[in-house]
Amino acid sequence: MALSYIPPIRDMQFVLHEMYGAVDALAQLPPYAELDRDTFNAVLEEAGKFAAEVVAPTNAVGDLQGCTLDVASHSVKTPDGFKEAYRQYIEAGWPALAADPAYGGQGLPFVLNQSCYEMLNSANQAWTMYPGLSHGAYEALHAHGSDALKQRYLPKLTSGEWTGTMCLTEPHCGTDLGLLRTKAEPQADGSYRITGNKIFISAGEHDLAENIVHLVLARLPDAPAGSKGISLFVVSKFRLNDDGSLGERNPVFCTGLEHKMGIHGNATAQLAFDGAIGHLVGEPHRGLAAMFVMMNGARLGVGNQSLGLTEIAFQNALAYAKERLQMRSLSGPKAPEQPADPIIVHPDVRHQLLAAKAWAEGGRMLGSYCGLLLDQARSHPDEAARVAAAAQLALLTPVVKAFLTDNGLAATIGCQQVFGGHGYIHETGMEQLVRDARINLIYEGTNAVQALDLLGRKVMGDQGKALTQFGKTIAGWAADYAREPKMAEFLLPLQDLGERLTELTQAIAAKAQRNPEEIGVAAVDYLRVVGHLSFGWLWARAAQVAQAAIAAGSTDPFYSAKLETARFYFARLLPEVETAFRRLQANSASLMKTSHALA
Amino acid sequence: MALSYIPPIRDMQFVLHEMYGAVDALAQLPPYAELDRDTFNAVLEEAGKFAAEVVAPTNAVGDLQGCTLDVASHSVKTPDGFKEAYRQYIEAGWPALAADPAYGGQGLPFVLNQSCYEMLNSANQAWTMYPGLSHGAYEALHAHGSDALKQRYLPKLTSGEWTGTMCLTEPHCGTDLGLLRTKAEPQADGSYRITGNKIFISAGEHDLAENIVHLVLARLPDAPAGSKGISLFVVSKFRLNDDGSLGERNPVFCTGLEHKMGIHGNATAQLAFDGAIGHLVGEPHRGLAAMFVMMNGARLGVGNQSLGLTEIAFQNALAYAKERLQMRSLSGPKAPEQPADPIIVHPDVRHQLLAAKAWAEGGRMLGSYCGLLLDQARSHPDEAARVAAAAQLALLTPVVKAFLTDNGLAATIGCQQVFGGHGYIHETGMEQLVRDARINLIYEGTNAVQALDLLGRKVMGDQGKALTQFGKTIAGWAADYAREPKMAEFLLPLQDLGERLTELTQAIAAKAQRNPEEIGVAAVDYLRVVGHLSFGWLWARAAQVAQAAIAAGSTDPFYSAKLETARFYFARLLPEVETAFRRLQANSASLMKTSHALA
């Protein structure tokens, strides 16, 4: 019994076209001036079809089989079907979708690529990480590589013939990359020999592609200690001949695969670099900055992974709740002709379903909003507009990563609960979603690291400018609808939340001046509040669009559903901020002055 | 790298002796008049040793191997080490601990047995379910079986030579047992032939014991439809000869084992009853009532499972947080001699650790409080006292089941998060704790079912009498300390919560008169509030005992730790009620009038 999946094309179109007018907005960016809505929709349809028909069938088997390492040959076999699905993926040209036409890309916008990825993530997160990581490597090389490196690597990454990785973590350092020890020794020919051990390298070794392009953080001999002495290198599994063809095997070997809670289909590799030949990407000692090009995209991507899992969890739990008969409604039988009512009549089942739906659709709204910001930050003809978009995106990136993944874990757990005991059994597929979703709160910077990034760097670090600007954007939108009585149920709580957040931010800033630790004490709750401000705004926007459509005479039940979900969000999910605010008022000593309790 | 575990004997003694004066309280019950503190403590020490030394080493291997079914012989092999640990368990006489001396039991109190089980659950929940289920079968037979049945089955269940099960669920019915179809046909000799298929039978087949005693719900031929036509039968794997020795194999066969998210070491069996011979337990058609004897004990037991997992998750996360070096404290280096600070300096790590500690110790306080109530309900010489204890226990049983298991899932996830990427890897053992903890929110009645039981049956069903009595108990205790300035920080929020809960209960009652569905809409949040009232009270009591010890001159850091944890609980966990109250004020239409959203 595999999970069923219907690509949420209608909702994507609602968000992109009806809420954001994405095609018109993108048309202001020179690369997308010619983009039309039909092309946009056709890509979504085709990607959805590919995800549902080609990728989804590999999900359960991938979880059961996992990847296997042949220690003697250092080769990794992916689960049955992965290779064939990947072959079809590159044959159809999907890796090139949002890549630079200069290297064979199709030059479509990031936000469209992201929507396609959402569907791939729903279908199989572990499989999708192989092309996903490639995209990260592509981005880093594209932004920081020399022309020579770009010419050598980008076309093959764009075609998908080669895949990529990000090699950051070592056994003793994850978050704290300043501690890393992998060495890079300059060679006479301008290359470097890389030596060291990396762990947790997603897609680090596999049989999907003929070559793997590792982006590796390492230290040059003259590197200063800490995070300012880290450089970025490209090291490919097979060295390249002068004509770009594959040469001899580079000594970067998979020495082990991790046994993980989930994403079994992705090879999480231990990689030993034994003097592998690599090339410097960007400036010496500036590797962390270069890597952050990948990391920021990757963080949006992790939020998108949980969005995909939330959507498919919702779809399957909804279907089950309509079929499974158990007990009667407290207000009397709803299906008297049956031996019991479908469990969808029960309030807690409805709560779990609506929560998953509201988290998924809200995540889609915020993710796509950020996707559009990224396209604007990259391609807007006006520099001020690019800078403004980049600032908003920087503010919201940790929110997308942490808020969507927190929500995704809660939603997959809630949807699993709808299945009762059957949700605990592998065959229904729900427990895999929980196990897969779990990693998203951890990798690419734990959610607590995201919270510190948001409050410490993105808010306090620029004296609240980006946050204030975000608030102005929300207030500006709200002002347009302030006189619509039907919008009051959404605008009043939104305004209230905005005011409380402003006060809160000032209060934390004042406390942090006395004790910088207050930032850390507040950060996680603070991120949840900012997440709700973002969702509250976007759910209000969605409700406005739905109301307008209904007022214009539409009888499409999609709009009624959207309004109901918006109301559910405001009534039953947004209240989470009450706990956060209460906790944020608490004395930090209750957390930090606890040396006996944590002795 | 296995999980480490130190039995929390000191904290158990604090709760049982210092908070509850358990030995004195038990001495008022005739069966325990002679019980002394040394015996009590010696049992705890020995049980802890057994759990840590014999059972804990089987945990990781049990998860990896799981159970295997030989289809041809219908036999199930448990993981390596399970059988030997069980042999030692019965050799040491542990199954007899709280059993009736009339059948070979040691006659010790339930609350002591429960503390021993907490440690076994920490060591290996899946293993502990084998003896745990036996205890449930023992209880049902002891309460409802005829003398003849008791003589035949109880001595062997008491010795542990045989184990037991509860056979309720069928493929189409879990919560809704009224739908069950398994048939019982009366035979001329007074026995019954049982025919039907049961699923999700924990410990349903295995190689630990020579016989398995199934307590089975089935329908007699003349049974009325629904839940009032269900009878309880005892069906043993091997039929018994007249002398009580094992006779021929009864046709109850394991036809499959479930592939589960966790508790892999426990055999979750599909059982086919093919005309197996059984005997009626209790009255015809009164099987559900008889089974509820098992269910209520089992629900306390499930809370206790999550308590055990929370404790071991906390211990291991604390140890890791003190060792793992990563980043610096925001207020400056705390371990300047090291390349980075131990991660325990970081606020979110502290939050996860303190939350787990507060949930574990709070769960121990509430679980033991209920354990003492059970002993009083069974053995108090005064009938009114028995009735009063039973009423309090009935109120709190769903709270123990749901609140402790919700908390346990949150805590194991939080402690896993402390490990970063390493927590996602099987070898650290943390991800297994999450997978094992997950079932506890589902089985023995999902947590939503517990919430309905609490609000619908235990509160509204008796016009709030039991809740009012519980409130009086709390208020009576609080009155004794109302003039102690040091207690104000605990008593004021507790009083406030009590008053808000009273108002809330009245408001729900008023709404429910108009629409019974309001009970279901409110139930889950309501249970969380009652859980916090219980924990708030018990943490206040713990703080009072700790303050008194400190005032009396104790310098034992245990008391300082207890106070710090109490303050953490009030400042940072109790605020969860703010979200619950806010949601409880919301219109139920936001949940129930959502037919388009859930179409």
Assess whether pLDDT exceeds 90 at residue B295: no
Q: Using an 8 Å CB-CB cutoff, list chain A residues near B429.
A: none
Helix (H) / strand (E) element for A373: namely helix A347-379
* Biggest CA pair distance of chain A: 83
- Work out the burial of residue A185: count CB atoms within 10 Å of its CB; fewer than 13 is exposed, 13-18 middle, 19 or more buried: middle
Among B80, B214, B38, B40, CA closest to B138: B214
Residue B145 pLDDT? 96
Question: Is residue B381 domain-resident?
Answer: no
Domain boundary among A250, A284, A318: A284
* Three-class secondary structure of residue B258 per DSSP: coil
Residues A182 and A232 in one domain: yes
Q: Within 13 Å, how many C-alpha atoms sit on residue A435's CB side?
A: 33
| Cα radius of gyration rounded to whole Å, chain A | 24
Question: Is residue B414 domain-resident?
Answer: no
Interface test with B, best of A591, A592, A593 (most B CBs within 10 A): A591
* Beta carbons of A176 and B351 less than 8 Å apart: no
When divided into structural domains, chain A yields a total of 3
Chain A residue closest to B329 (CA)? Answer: A517
Residue A159 pLDDT? 98
Residues A460 and A536 in one domain: yes
Alpha carbon distance A20, A372 (integer Å): 9
* Beta carbons of B354 and A591 less than 8 Å apart: yes
The residues with which A256 forms a beta bridge, in sequence order, are A270
Domain boundary among A230, A263, A284: A284
| Cα radius of gyration rounded to whole Å, chain B | 24
Alpha carbon distance A335, A317 (integer Å): 19
Q: Of the candidates B260, B339, B579, which has its C-beta nearest A579's C-beta?
A: B579
Question: Is residue B309 domain-resident?
Answer: no
Helix (H) / strand (E) element for B200: namely strand B192-202
Among A276, A267, A289, A307, CA closest to A127: A267
pLDDT-based confidence at residue B1 (cuts at 50, 70, 90): low
Question: Is residue A567 domain-resident?
Answer: yes
Question: Is residue A543 domain-resident?
Answer: yes
Q: H helices of A243-344, where? A: 287-323
Residues A177 and A271 in one domain: yes
Give yes or no for A583 touching B (CB within 8 A).
Answer: yes
Sign of CA dihedral A94, A97, A99, A105: positive
Report residue B291 as tokens: 């089974």
Alpha carbon distance B474, B468 (integer Å): 10
Residues B117 and B210 in one domain: no
Looking up tokens 């759990």 gives B51
Chain A residue closest to B575 (CA)? Answer: A579
From A326's Cα to the closest Cα of chain B, the distance in A is: 5
Give yes or no for A560 touching B (CB within 8 A).
Answer: yes
Give yes or no for B227 touching A (CB within 8 A).
Answer: no
Q: Of the candidates A261, A351, A417, which has its C-beta nearest B431's C-beta?
A: A261
DSSP characters for B38-59?
HHHHHHHHHHHHHIIIIIGGGH
Residues A20 and A109 in one domain: yes
* Beta carbons of A413 and B565 less than 8 Å apart: no
Looking up tokens 């905005």 gives A498
**Cβ atoms of A236 and A132 closer than 8 Å:** no
Q: How far is CA A44 from CA A8, A111, A116, A252, A287, in A?
A: 10, 11, 6, 38, 35
**CATH number where B123 lies:** 1.10.540.10
Assess whether pLDDT exceeds 80 at residue B294: no
Residue B202: count of CB within 10 angstroms of its CB: 23
Alpha carbon distance A269, A167 (integer Å): 10
Give yes or no for A280 touching B (CB within 8 A).
Answer: no
Average pLDDT over residues B86-91: 98
**Cβ atoms of B313 and B416 closer than 8 Å:** yes
Question: Is residue A434 domain-resident?
Answer: no
Indicate if B46 belongs to the active site.
no
DSSP characters for B440-491?
TTTSSS-HHHHHHIIIIIIIGGGTTHHHHHHHHHHHHHHHHTTT-GGGHHHH
Give yes or no for B41 touching A (CB within 8 A).
Answer: no
Residue from B283, B444, B489, B503 carrying the catalytic annotation: B444
Q: Using an 8 Å CB-CB cutoff, list chain A residues near B63.
A: none
Residue B276 pLDDT? 98
From A66's Cα to the closest Cα of chain B, the distance in A is: 14
Residues B169 and B100 in one domain: no
Residues A37 and A69 in one domain: yes
pLDDT tens digit sequence for B484-504: 999 999 999 999 999 999 999
Residues B461 and B533 in one domain: yes
**Cβ atoms of B32 and B375 closer than 8 Å:** yes
Q: Which of residues 235 through 264 in chain A touch B, CB cutoff 8 A?
A: 258-262
Residues B120 and B218 in one domain: no
From B107's Cα to the closest Cα of chain A, the distance in A is: 35
Domain boundary among A284, A299, A314: A284
Report residue B280 as tokens: 């009626």
Report residue B308 as tokens: 């055990």
Residues A515 and A586 in one domain: yes
Q: H helices of A145-265, where? A: 147-159
Give yes or no for A565 touching B (CB within 8 A).
Answer: yes
Interface test with B, best of A10, A176, A198, A554 (most B CBs within 10 A): A176
Residues B49 and B80 in one domain: yes
**CATH number where B221 lies:** 2.40.110.20
Range of the domain at B248: 163-284
Q: Which of residues 315 through 354 in chain B touch A, CB cutoff 8 A?
A: 318, 321, 325-327, 329-331, 339-340, 344, 346-351, 353-354
Residues A471 and A507 in one domain: yes
Q: Which amino acid is at B451?
A: A
Helix (H) / strand (E) element for B165: namely strand B162-167
Give yes or no for B560 touching A (CB within 8 A).
Answer: yes
Residue A120: count of CB within 10 angstroms of its CB: 27
Report residue B388 as tokens: 């009063």
Q: Which amino acid is at B470?
A: F
CA angle A503-A504-A509, nearest 5°? Answer: 100
Among B219, B217, B54, B199, CA closest to B122: B54
3-class SS string, A4-58 = CCCCCHHHHHHHHHHHCCHHHHHHCCHHHCCCCHHHHHHHHHHHHHHHHHHHHHH
* Beta carbons of A448 and B565 less than 8 Å apart: no
Question: Is residue B327 domain-resident?
Answer: no
Alpha carbon distance A332, A329 (integer Å): 5
Chain B residue closest to A557 (CA)? Answer: B596
Does the pTM surpass 0.80? The reply is yes
Name the DSSP class of A180: -
Residue A295 pLDDT? 81
* Beta carbons of B443 and A421 less than 8 Å apart: yes
pLDDT 10s per residue in chain A (599 long)? Answer: 689 999 999 999 999 999 999 999 999 999 999 999 999 999 999 999 999 999 999 999 999 999 999 999 999 999 999 999 999 999 999 999 999 999 999 999 999 999 999 999 999 999 999 999 999 999 999 999 999 999 999 999 999 999 999 999 999 999 999 999 999 999 999 999 999 999 999 999 999 999 999 999 999 999 999 999 999 999 999 999 999 999 999 999 999 999 999 999 999 999 999 999 999 999 999 999 888 877 888 999 999 999 999 999 999 999 999 999 999 999 999 999 999 999 999 999 999 999 999 999 999 999 999 999 999 999 999 999 999 999 999 999 999 999 999 999 999 999 999 999 999 999 999 999 999 999 999 999 999 999 999 999 999 999 999 999 999 999 999 999 999 999 999 999 999 999 999 999 999 999 999 999 999 999 999 999 999 999 999 999 999 999 999 999 999 999 999 999 999 999 999 999 999 999 999 999 999 999 999 99
* Biggest CA pair distance of chain B: 83
DSSP characters for A87-124?
HHHHHTTGGGTTS-GGGT-----HHHHHHHHHHHHHH-
* Three-class secondary structure of residue B94 per DSSP: helix
Residue B499: count of CB within 10 angstroms of its CB: 11
pLDDT tens digit sequence for B14-30: 999 999 999 999 999 99
* Three-class secondary structure of residue A515 per DSSP: coil
The residues with which B216 forms a beta bridge, in sequence order, are B167, B233
Q: Which amino acid is at A210?
A: E
Chain B residue closest to A580 (CA)? Answer: B575
Q: Using an 8 Å CB-CB cutoff, list chain A residues near B329.
A: 517
* Beta carbons of A520 and B346 less than 8 Å apart: yes
Q: Which residues are CB-neighbours of B118 under 8 A, at least 6 positions away?
A: B12, B304, B307, B308, B311, B364, B367
Residue A342: count of CB within 10 angstroms of its CB: 18
Q: Using an 8 Å CB-CB cutoff, list chain B residues near A260.
A: 424-426, 431
Report residue B292 as tokens: 């509820």
Report residue A229 as tokens: 């002495």
* Beta carbons of A260 and B425 less than 8 Å apart: yes
Give yes or no for B591 touching A (CB within 8 A).
Answer: yes
Chain B residue closest to A445 (CA)? Answer: B420
* Three-class secondary structure of residue A257 per DSSP: strand
* Beta carbons of A596 and B561 less than 8 Å apart: yes
Instruction: Region of A249 please: left (phi>0), alpha (psi -120 to 50) or beta.
Output: beta
**Cβ atoms of B324 and B421 closer than 8 Å:** no
* Three-class secondary structure of residue A339 per DSSP: coil
Alpha carbon distance A7, A117 (integer Å): 11
The residues with which B254 forms a beta bridge, in sequence order, are B271
Alpha carbon distance A280, A218 (integer Å): 10
Residue A296 pLDDT? 82
Residue-level length of chain B: 599
From B171's Cα to the closest Cα of chain A, the distance in A is: 9
DSSP characters for A66-88?
--EEETTTTEEEPPTTHHHHHHH
Give yes or no for A426 touching B (CB within 8 A).
Answer: yes
Question: Is residue B337 domain-resident?
Answer: no
Q: How far is CA B597 from CA A322, A346, A493, in A?
A: 13, 15, 22
Q: Is this complex's ipTM strictly greater than 0.95?
A: yes
Label the pairing between strands A183-186 and A192-202: antiparallel
